Amino acid sequence: MSENVVQRLRDEIENSIISNDFAPGARLDEVQLATRFGVSRTPVREALMQLNAIGLVEIRPRRGAVVIDPGPHRIFEMFEVMAELEGLAGSLAARRFTDADRTTILAAHADCERSSSAGDSDLYYYDNERFHKAIYAASHSGFLAEQCVALHRRLQPYRRLQLRVRNRVATSFAEHGAIVEAILAGDAERARTLLRQHVSIQGERFSDLVATLASR
């Protein structure tokens, strides 16, 4: 089960940060975490350094680790990059998808329809994630898929917030339909454009995000 202590700690702390249990700016005390998880400081330090490398935590020399608070502007920048990577994944998928990829994408899309029409934004979040991962996989670029998954994970909390905005789930699902169509038609450029627009948070979607961030 637990591969090793450090990985387990890394995941636990990462999840705590993503689920906002450790709020941005919070100080991560080594001994506190160590006692909390019943281990010594060494693996805690190693986990914190990994989170530092990922960019979730800042380690100030001799002054401890704090949870990074990416302001609205930086979140916007991350979505900008994510949009570009997803666009690339979509265009590659349109050119390279196999029969198995088609099946996986359509299945994920069908699940999205289910949770979308049910109006369950939390369930839709998971189905949506599977849908996007299916596209990453269909791109047949292992490196791109890794980058996308990593960024997707970092943006997870903000994506969830977005989906709570009225009608966003329905809109999102409608966009998925067009994306599936473009990919399966092999139209790489259209798939790229649609995915880029689907992911990027332009105009009022950005204001919505800022407003929702401020209110928690």
Partner DNA sequence: GTCCAGCATCTTGCATACAAGAATTGACCT
Partner DNA sequence: AGGTCAATTCTTGTATGCAAGATGCTGGAC
Distance CA 37, CA 16 (A): 13
Annotate each residue in 25-44 with x if it binds DNA (CB under 7 A) or - if it does not, as one string.
----xxx------xxxxxx-
| Residue 45 binds to a second copy (criterion: CB under 8 A) | yes
Distance CA 168, CA 208 (A): 11
Could you tell me where the DSSP H helices lie in the chain? 5-18, 30-37, 41-54, 72-96, 99-118, 121-138, 142-163, 168-184, 188-199, 203-214
| Residue 84 binds to a second copy (criterion: CB under 8 A) | yes
In the sheet that 27-28 helps form, which strands lie side by side, from edge to edge?
27-28, 64-67, 57-60
Distance CA 194, CA 182 (A): 8
Q: Which does 84 bind (CB under 5 to 8 A by kind): a second copy, DNA, none?
A: a second copy
| Residue 85 binds to a second copy (criterion: CB under 8 A) | yes
| Residue 120 binds to a second copy (criterion: CB under 8 A) | no
Nearest CB to DNA, comparing residues 4 and 20: 4
| Residue 68 binds to DNA (criterion: CB under 7 A) | no
Per CB under 8 A, residues contacting a second copy are 3-4, 6, 42, 45-46, 49-50, 52-54, 61, 74, 77-78, 80-81, 84-85, 87-88, 141-144, 147
